[in-house]
Amino acid sequence: MASTNDLKNGMVLKLDNQLWSVVEFQHVKPGKGPAFVRTKMKSVTTGKVVDKTFNAGTKVETANVDRRTMQYLYNDGTDFVFMDPDTFDQIPVTPEVVGDASKFLLENGEAVVARHEGEVLFIELPPSVVLEITYTEPGLQGDRSSGGTKPATVETGAEIQVPLFVEQGTKVKVDTRDGSYLGRVS
């Protein structure tokens, strides 16, 4: 149990037998009336985001979530297999849980795997990853400084938008949250 005064971003709460992750919160002390806490929470299982308001100091049940950095090994055809680098235990994770993270998941890359009572809740990738461009149309002479973009396929199979001067074989940094191009890597 914790108080609503102790809420932090990323904290997982158990409300109505469902797990909710705190996305953001705000303590509000109006001039008249009691203080309250306004939160935006995301359902861990469905991804649905809701706004919920609590009275300040209200007790809420927290869920014990084990977040561990694991190494992604391979996809066995149905599940993604991750390994704990400390114990070498391998755990399969379903594609539904991995979700869009699969677009930027490289073999032997690291990700944070969050589990609650043995069940995998979600996968968190690092904020950015370095990937190689496997296919893109060649840029034209004179396109070096214009602000246009073109589609490019990276080594994981995801398609991103890159500037016109980026060529096939170039390593680029990609934001894992929205798939945007962050720059070239030498």
Instruction: Indicate the residue type of 159.
Output: E
Domain(s) of CATH 2.40.50.140: residues in the chain:
66-124, 128-185
pLDDT tens for 22-53 read: 989 999 999 888 999 999 998 887 778 999 99
Q: How many CB atoms lie within 10 A of CB 65?
A: 17
pLDDT at 144: 56
What is the C-alpha to C-alpha distance for residues 20 and 14, in angstroms, rounded to an integer?
6
Q: The tokens of 74 are what?
A: 């391979």
Show the CA angle centred on residue 150, arms to residues 144 and 155, nearest 5°: 110
Can you tell me the mean pLDDT for 118-133?
89
* pLDDT band, very low/low/confident/very high, at 149 (cuts 50, 70, 90): confident
User: Domain 2-60 belongs to what architecture?
Assistant: Roll (2.30)
Q: Tell me the pLDDT band of 141, cut-offs 50, 70 and 90.
A: low
Q: What is the pLDDT of residue 97?
A: 86
CATH architecture of the domain 66-124 equals: Beta Barrel (2.40)
CATH topology for the 128-185 domain: OB fold (Dihydrolipoamide Acetyltransferase, E2P) (2.40.50)
Q: What is the DSSP string of 71-88?
A: EEEEE-SSSEEEE-TTT-
Tell me the per-residue pLDDT of 70-124, one tens digit each, with 9 for 90 and over: 999 999 989 999 999 999 999 999 998 888 888 999 889 899 998 888 888 888 8
Mean pLDDT of the chain: 88
Query: Rounded distance, CA 60 to CA 63, Å?
Result: 10
| Model confidence, pTM | 0.72
Mean pLDDT of 129-133: 93
